[in-house]
Amino acid sequence: MIAPPGAGKGTQGVVIAEHFGIPHIATGDLLRDHVARGTELGRSVQTCLDRGELVPDEVVLDMVRAALEALQGDGWVLDGVPRTMEQARALYQIALELDMTADVALHLQVDDAELVRRLLARAVQTGRSDDTEDVIRHRLALYYEVTHPILQWYDERGILVSVDANRDAGAVGRHILTALEVLRQIVDRDDGTARKAVDLTGLGAAFGARPSH
Ligand code: ADP
């Protein structure tokens, strides 16, 4: 799932996981859990989280690799990663190694004003340390700068599904599940063409490649 903060990744990630009976792996939850338990990893990332900065790629990637390796059965929802081009590239390599490349990249589109409204409302309820107005605006800016451009790559791979997530969570959830159920039938019949392998050297503008001529 790729979406700006406040778009509902967490909520919809759980809806998808429950519907398909698969685990929901959310990097933000895993990191906050480390902070809450006071682990060494938690202590090393706490300042990043509080400021709305990204934690170092290798921290997230090691965590996600371990989570993927521990999976049993078929299927998973990844929420919160990749967040940068580098993470997208590295995650794809990891997934290739584990034979676990994604069938779908789900993008939740929400207008900025609605995002800020939701995050400020959430701040009152959860008291999450990064849900203050300044940090929210920073996380949003960071999303557009480093995360949003990844969508182009998933589009080129033919696995991007973009959903209007401005509506209430129930309506968005139904829309997502409908789209995924339709896609599941295509993926189940997949003869290898629906999920195109990607040549990492040929990802074009999404990875900042310059034309060779
Ligand atoms: P949101 O989408 O609302 O920002 P998350 O729970 O996904 O919330 O992430 C919270 C914080 O966890 C981020 O601001 C960042 O500090 C850290 N984080 C989560 N996933 C990643 C990632 N893939 N790479 C770097 N930092 C991450």
Question: Which segment of 2-6, 125-129, 133-137, 186-190 scores lowest on mean pLDDT?
Answer: 186-190
pLDDT beyond 80 at 69: yes
Token digits of residue 79:
């929420």
Write the residue with the smallest CA distance to atom 18 of ligand 1.
Answer: 28
Query: pLDDT tier at 103 (50, 70, 90 boundaries)?
Result: very high
Query: Mean pLDDT across the chain, nearest whole number?
Result: 89
pLDDT greater at residue 24 or residue 192: 24
What is the whole-number distance in angstroms between the Cα of residue 80 and the centre of ligand 1?
Answer: 6
Tell me the per-residue pLDDT of 140-195, one tens digit each, with 9 for 90 and over.
Answer: 999 999 999 999 999 998 899 999 999 999 999 999 999 999 988 887 776 555 55
The protein residue with its alpha carbon nearest to ligand 1, atom 12, reads 28
Residue written as tokens 């406040």?
6
